[in-house]
Amino acid sequence: MNYTIKNDKLTVEISDLGAEMMSIKKDNCEYLWQGDSAYWGRRSPVLFPIVGSVWEKLYRVDGKVYELGQHGFARDMNFEKVSGSDTEVRYRLVSNDETLAKYPYPFVLEIAYRLNDNRLDVVWEVYNPSDKEMYFQIGAHPAFNYPDYAPDAKERGFFVFDRTEGLECVRIKEKGCVDASVRYPLEIPEDGRMPIASDTFDKIDTIMMEDSQVSEVKMLRADGTPWLALAFDAPVVGIWSPPHKVAPFICIEPWYGRCDRVGYEGEYKDKDWMNRLAPGERFSSVYTIEIF
């Protein structure tokens, strides 16, 4: 079942399944990708309790081996709607026997969506209800339609970051995992606008910037006018569009986590960009989507 929140600027639709955004509209214009398996069938899944892939789909907790697919399981589970108003809705997912069999940590995950003028706040809260430490990752994967998309046009617009010098990224190397020892410079032209072309992701698959290098990603139309922006405090951001498909959308993804390094077989708690919660502790974060 879907729930709609709206104000005089935006209309946003959210599904119980995965607490996933299904639509963001302004003036009847759809900004969120609507899903098509020819390119990518999802729209804006929440990534939990991992971001990306674990090596060989296996990970270890206290020496015991567990199997987990890319981006975890929350995106494929039904959440409970715990509150809703005209402009805000909140969902909850609680660990159960099914989740504990593949992720041995009790948890309460709450996701809220809140409208404020032309901005949408996405709120994540993770609570550890147990008497033991809990480890997790969480991330966003919203896909946004390119403005004025034309399959035959090479230009897709521009990115503007809140930092333009010294940017570096890591890249996927093998089986969805990275070689974190290699940093690739992200060259930004003097005007501060990084061009997006139809073949940009054919070469690099995913742009992953770590270490809180940027906290805002703004997307411009090909004529330089603003289309949308994401602001966040997550330490990692991924930018992705399906390679070699001339896809009509692009994903801007704030992450508290990242895929494994190639060959990683250590403990889950020692993964790169892991989050820890003591018993009874709560993690909270907000990222904001601004529609122009």
pTM: 0.97
Mean pLDDT of the chain: 96
pLDDT tens for 123-152 read: 999 999 999 999 999 999 999 999 989 989
DSSP of the chain: -EEEEE-SS-EEEEESBTT-EEEEEETTEE-B---BTTTBS-SSPEEBS-SS--GGGEEEETTEEEE--TTBSGGGSBPEEEEE-SSEEEEEEE--HHHHHHS----EEEEEEEEETTEEEEEEEEE--SSS-EEE-EEE--EEEPTT--TT-SEEEEEEES--SS-EEB-EEETTEE-TT--EE----TTS-EEEETTHHHHHSEEEE-TT--SEEEEE-TTS-EEEEEE---SEEEEE--TTTT-SEEEEEEEE--PPBTT--SBGGGSTT-EEE-TT-EEEEEEEEEE-
- Model pLDDT, residue 132: 97
Q: What is the pLDDT of residues 25-47, one digit of tens each?
A: 999 999 999 999 999 999 999 99
